[in-house]
Amino acid sequence: MKSILLTLLPIGALSLGLMTSSGQSMNTNQTELATFGGGCFWCMEAEFQKLPGIKSLTSGFSGGRTENPTYEQVCSGTTGHAEVIQIGYDPTKVSYERLLQAFWIAHDPTTSNRQGADEGTQYRSIILYRNEAEKLAVEKSKADAQKNFRSHIVTELASFKKFYPADDHHQNYFNTNPNQPYCQVIIKPKLEKFEKELKKVDK
């Protein structure tokens, strides 16, 4: 569905307030990175923009074999990459564990290689950890999250290797194209649900 609607969308998007178009944060003091995939990166980006402590968000690709893949190559399913977001965050304001908590809320981790109408290995649920401490945190978070799902969580857990940013017109997508069909029909309802579920866990 997304690939069809993409043809309707304008080129040229603005970057998120505190980052450059390449996703690099500006005037930072302390920044750590997290890389998650949960279906369409446009959706995940819009959801994680709602969290405090986020300094940068970049949509892109990771977890595959092909060097410097294009969006079209990733959509073909031949590169092994997933659509992901790379999050630059201030650990003094938001913890890695909090990001993981939001990750399980942001999408359905029990569906294999799909989120809604978006289907393919590029839409798989994946967490790319950077060290042993993150791996342990991910495994614990996954076990805790499983209690909230009747079906088995199929999220792939993998060691981070490389991240490839998507083209500029994929960045900050929802904010730049709020009236586009995909944004209205797919992203907006997911975003509203995400914010509602976050409030529940924070009570």
Which among 93, 67, 34, 75 has a CA at the least distance from the CA of 170? 75
Task: State pLDDT tens for residues 147-186.
Answer: 999 999 999 999 999 999 999 999 999 999 999 999 999 9
Task: State pLDDT tens for residues 56-70.
Answer: 999 999 999 999 999
User: Considering 40, 43, 75, 183, which one is annotated as catalytic?
Assistant: 40
3-class DSSP assignment, residue 132: helix
- Decide if 43 is catalytic: no
Q: What is the DSSP letter of 8?
A: G
| Residue 119 β-bridge partners | 114
Contacts of residue 52, defined as CB under 8 A and 6 or more positions apart, other chains included, come to: 93, 94
Position 14 confidence tier, pLDDT thresholds 50, 70, 90: very low
CATH hierarchy code of domain 2-202: 3.30.1060.10
Position 200 confidence tier, pLDDT thresholds 50, 70, 90: confident
Domain boundaries, the chain: 2-202
DSSP string, 52-87: TTEEEEEEEEESSSSSS--HHHHHTT-S--EEEEEE
